[in-house]
Chain A
Amino acid sequence: DIQMTQSPSSLSASVGDRVTITCQASQDISNYLNWYQQKPGKAPKLLIYDASNLETGVPSRFSGSGSGTDFTFTISSLQPEDIATYYCQQYDNPALTFGGGTKVEIK
């Protein structure tokens, strides 16, 4: 099974800061990677698909990059409403494997 290693597990940043989260796959997954935002008590929300494509309606301050085994998720200017836990997920058939999550807080 493909393992996804996400870091950091938590971070604290100020409003307006640039925030970066990384995700490493245990083997080549091409660009089969999604990034999700999850707020307490809610289902995950897709932000980025195919590693770098912004889902419709998602603010442009969110972005993703990478391919193969190393991926990066960036919030260019952290906003108060971005407080949430973020997950990477690979979708190499058949399983969906998630990273451990990154809890983002406001400093």
Chain B
Amino acid sequence: EVQLVESGGGLVQPGGSLKLSCAASGFTFSGSAMHWVRQASGKGLEWVGRIRSKANSYATAYAASVKGRFTISRDDSKNTAYLQMNSLKTEDTAVYYCTTSSGWLWGQGTLVTVSS
């Protein structure tokens, strides 16, 4: 089955860390750039960042709002992308989605809540 499945969300205190995973199946993950997008409750979609494929040197890019705090990585042997989130702020509370570069496939999302 062609799908993306996110995991790793949960409740974390401000200043804490969390690592999200995005497991892919049913398509050639290793050749695909992968993006992370988030959505706060009742708000619009916000791009978080992306990682390109090995052929493009695993190049990463980030939104200004998370640069220096979030890191995207991937393990092509496991068909999985990751989002490491450090120094979390309350405003990082959102549902986090992973998606393919062209937007044709999205995961179901995982909720991250940053609160004391």
Interface residues of A (CB under 8 A from B): 1, 34, 36, 38, 43-46, 49, 55, 87, 89, 91, 94-101
Q: Is B74 an interface residue (CB 8 A)?
A: no
Report yes or no: B44 in contact with A101, Cβ–Cβ below 8 A: yes
Give the number of residues in B that approach A within 8 Å (Cβ atoms).
20
Which listed residue, A1, A45, A89, touches B45 by the CB 8 Å rule? Answer: A89
* Bound Cα distance from A36 to B44, whole angstroms: 12
Report yes or no: B45 in contact with A87, Cβ–Cβ below 8 A: yes
Interface string of B38-65 (1 = CB under 8 A from A): 0000001111001000000001010110
* Bound Cα distance from A34 to B64, whole angstroms: 22
* Bound Cα distance from A95 to B63, whole angstroms: 8
Interface residues of B (CB under 8 A from A): 35, 37, 44-47, 50, 59, 61, 63-64, 97, 101-104, 106-109
Smallest CB separation, B109 vs chain A (Å): 6
Report yes or no: A98 in contact with B44, Cβ–Cβ below 8 A: yes
Closest to A50 in B: B102
Report yes or no: B45 in contact with A46, Cβ–Cβ below 8 A: no
> Which residues from chain B contact A100 at a C-beta distance below 8 Å?
44
Smallest CB separation, B35 vs chain A (Å): 6
> Which residues from chain B contact A91 at a C-beta distance below 8 Å?
101-103
Smallest CB separation, A52 vs chain B (Å): 15
